[in-house]
Amino acid sequence: MTSYEVVVIVGLGIISRRWIQNPNRCADEYLDGIEDFIEFARTHNPGATRIRCPCGMCNNTLWETIENVGFHLVMNGMIETYSI
């Protein structure tokens, strides 16, 4: 199993990291991965309005609203070295 196939258990579901490598950011797999990531961020940061954005442009250094992080991940992709 490569580092990109590691899964994280969230609640009753499992998040796969394979979506991060999908070059088609309009693919259901990629969009579902973003939704799972956003759900994970909300669950683990209750009440937070901003989180570090792991998109390719922000590189996990800029704080964005959780909603904007979702948009950034569609537009810029997620940094492949991101770890939860």
Task: Convert the pLDDT of each residue in 41-73 to its tens digit.
Answer: 899 889 999 999 999 999 999 999 999 999 999
DSSP string, the chain: --GGG-EEEETTEEEESGGGG-S-TTSHHHHHHHHHHHHHHHHHSTT-SEEE--BTTTTT-SEEEHHHHHHHHHHH-B-TT---
Question: What mean pLDDT value characterizes the chain?
Answer: 83
Lowest model confidence (mean pLDDT) among 4-18, 41-55, 68-82: 4-18
Q: Which amino acid is at 27?
A: A
